[in-house]
Structure 1
Amino acid sequence: MSDLRSEKDHAVHEINNRLFFRLFQVANTLHTKGTQAIEEFGVTTQQWSVLGALSRPQAEEGMSINDLSRLLLVSRQNLTGVLSRLERDGLIERATNEEDRRSRKVKLSKQGQALWLKLQDPIHQFYDKALKDLSFDDRLAFIHYFTKLQTNMSKL
């Protein structure tokens, strides 16, 4: 009985290792290929994610750095450098938060909004190519399972 359990445990560990290694590879490929998809615009994948978050209707009036950090699941320290470069390039603006004058909000500038619109076609083409062999239902399943995985990992 313990040999059977040991074999099953080994198989589960092996699958877990393969799954997380594959996620690591996918993340690295997204970074590399995603950057190539938008490199003509001088934007990194990290900047792309911030611009995308700030382009949402609920962020039209800006977002606190803490809220942006929580949404993107990145540390404030990592986000600060990205925001500084985006601000330097005129793509975002920082403004005093009207609800709490001690804090600041970040939002897309007019230039950032224009760039986000220009990025839409290359981003959608990238998504279409990356997901070409996945049905709509496959894509929904991915969202479901990635959400479960992220939720479990965030509890660790």
Structure 2
Amino acid sequence: MVIPNENAETARMELANRVFFRLYQCANMLHKTGTRAVEAEGLTTQQWAVLGALSRPTAEGGMSVGDLARYLKVSRQNLSGLLSRMERDGHLSTAPDGRDRRSRLVTMTASGRKVWLVEAQPKIYAYYDQVLDGFSVNDVTHTLHYLLKILENMQRVDDAQGDGAEPDE
């Protein structure tokens, strides 16, 4: 005899497996095709994310490395090499934070702002247009809603697991 709740849970887990596999594929394709969209500007999707984060009005005065890492959901260790390359390329600068000398403040340079606004952003918008072809505004709104719910739940899981990382800078 089949128990209905077991069938429902099995179906739910099979669907969950498909959702998370598709998220994995989307992340890989975003990295691959997104990087191609901005490679002429010397950027990768990771650098695009950093410039995007620093271009927000709330980040106008810069962001600490720890805050930037938390915002992007990456470790400071992974962000460190990326920031060094971007600083070397002239897209951003880092300096001691005036409010906390132990912390480094990351800001976009004039050159980085030009690359972001003039060179990369038009290509990024064209990329969005291609990838979201066939999506209505309502479809995009619903997709964003569900991705945010997944992200919030993942953040709760991460917080409960702890990452063993050292305290902020």
**Smaller-chain TM-score bracket:** over 0.9
Letter in 2 for 1:19: V
Moved more, 94-103 or 131-140: 94-103
Partner of 2:133: 132
**Cα shift readout 1:57-78 (whole Å, capped 9, x = no counterpart):** 1111110001101110000011
**Cα shift readout 1:25-67 (whole Å, capped 9, x = no counterpart):** 0000100000111111111110110011011111111100011
Partner of 2:76: 76
The alignment-based identity, stated in percent, is 49
Letter in 2 for 1:27: A
Q: Which structure 1 segments of 5+ residues have no match?
A: none
Partner of 1:108: 108
1:15 and 2:15 aligned? yes
Letter in 2 for 1:71: Y
* Aligned positions of 1:58-69 closer than 5 A: 58-69=58-69
1:147 and 2:148 aligned? yes
In the alignment of these two chains, the number of paired residues is 156
User: Take 1:102 and 1:154, find their aligned partners in 2: how far apart are those partners?
Assistant: 26
Q: CA deviation at 1:2?
A: 5.0
SS at match of 2:102: coil
Q: CA deviation at 1:6?
A: 2.3
Q: CA deviation at 1:5?
A: 2.4
**Cα shift readout 1:59-108 (whole Å, capped 9, x = no counterpart):** 11110001101110000011001101001111101122121223220000
Q: Structure 2-normalised TM-score? A: 0.89
Q: Structure 1-normalised TM-score? A: 0.96
SS at match of 2:151: helix
Provide the aligned C-alpha RMSD in A.
1.1
Letter in 2 for 1:120: Q
SS at match of 1:103: strand
User: Take 2:30 and 2:102, find their aligned partners in 1: how far apart are those partners?
Assistant: 37
**Cα shift readout 1:110-143 (whole Å, capped 9, x = no counterpart):** 1101100111110000001101111101111111
User: Take 1:82 and 1:102, find their aligned partners in 2: how far apart are those partners?
Assistant: 20
Letter in 1 for 2:37: A
User: Take 1:21 and 1:93, find their aligned partners in 2: how far apart are those partners?
Assistant: 37
Partner of 1:27: 27
Q: Which aligned runs of 4 or more in structure 1 are off by greater than 4 angstroms?
A: none
